[in-house]
Amino acid sequence: MAEARVAKGKIRHGQRESIRALIPAARIEKRIRAMAKEIRRDFPEERLHLVSVLKGGVFFLTDLARSIPGEVSFDFIAVASYGQNTHSSGQVRLTRDLDSSIEGQTVIVVEDILDTGMTLQYLLRLFQQRKPKHLRVAVLLDKPERRIAAVRADYVGFTIPNEFVVGYGLDYSERYRNLPYVGILKLGSGAKPQK
């Protein structure tokens, strides 16, 4: 296994992969605090129920939940669409459902990234059938160039270019989730992973 080396904002894994920092940890932390204020401003007295999409949304959920004052609960859901590679299969299926009902609750769907919108479209349809009082979406990253489904987020951390990103919960074959920043992954001699 190649040892990761950090040099001038890049991590290199042997000769095959490199990561260039796109959004530093400090900017992520600051933006999440601002998003938490926006959410609480919109729902000043309500108990908020955050639903994280596993696995990528976990880092964002925990930091967002800790930044929102007042009563906050959370749950997790998992869907599959990417598999082991970097391009979406175009199909979304539920692999882990919520632990409790969301009926009558103010629900914030917490996603790491919004790109094609297929996953979010699927989740919004599913959740709307369960009759929440309010249903909103918070995404850390929005990649509008990749949008296929007509969906949008109510709260957006950062709008990013059409690059394959990892870190802060986002992965490439289950690797790099633990990076404290978001970075652009390059393969080989600067090649990009396929979408």
Provide the domain count of the chain: 1
pLDDT score for 185:
95
Assess if residue 98 is contained within a domain.
Answer: yes
Interaxial angle between packed helices 25-42 and 58-67, expressed in degrees from 0 to 180 and rounded to the nearest 10: 60
Per-residue model confidence as pLDDT tens digits over 104-160:
999 999 999 999 999 999 999 999 999 999 999 999 999 999 999 999 999 999 999
| Candidates 63, 112, 115, 142; catalytic one | 115
112: nearest Cα among 135, 138, 147, 140: 140
Q: In CATH, what number is assigned to the domain containing residue 164? A: 3.40.50.2020
- Judge contact between 103 and 132, C-beta under 8 A: yes
Assess if residue 9 is contained within a domain.
Answer: no
The span from the first CA to the last CA of the chain, in angstroms, equals 25
In angstroms, the CA 147 to CA 138 distance is 16
Assess if residue 106 is contained within a domain.
Answer: yes
Assess if residue 161 is contained within a domain.
Answer: yes
Assess if residue 28 is contained within a domain.
Answer: yes
Residue 68's DSSP bridge partners are none
Render each residue's pLDDT in the chain as its tens digit; 195 residues.
Answer: 233 333 334 555 555 889 999 999 999 999 999 999 999 999 999 999 999 999 999 999 999 999 999 999 999 999 887 544 445 556 788 889 899 999 999 999 999 999 999 999 999 999 999 999 999 999 999 999 999 999 999 999 999 999 999 999 999 989 999 999 999 999 875 556 655
Is residue 115 flagged as an active site residue?
Answer: yes
- Judge contact between 155 and 34, C-beta under 8 A: no
- Judge contact between 23 and 60, C-beta under 8 A: no
CB burial of residue 31 (10 Å; 0-12, 13-18, 19+):
middle
Q: And the tokens for 147?
A: 């949008």
Range(s) of the domain holding residue 139 = 24-187
The phi and psi torsions of 17 (rounded to 5 degrees) equal -130, 145
139: nearest Cα among 73, 68, 59: 59
Contacts of 191 (CB under 8 A, 6+ apart): none
- Judge contact between 62 and 120, C-beta under 8 A: no
Q: Which of helix, strand or coil describes residue 110?
A: strand
Kindly state the helix (H) or strand (E) to which residue 134 belongs, with its residue range. Answer: strand 134-142
Assess if residue 103 is contained within a domain.
Answer: yes
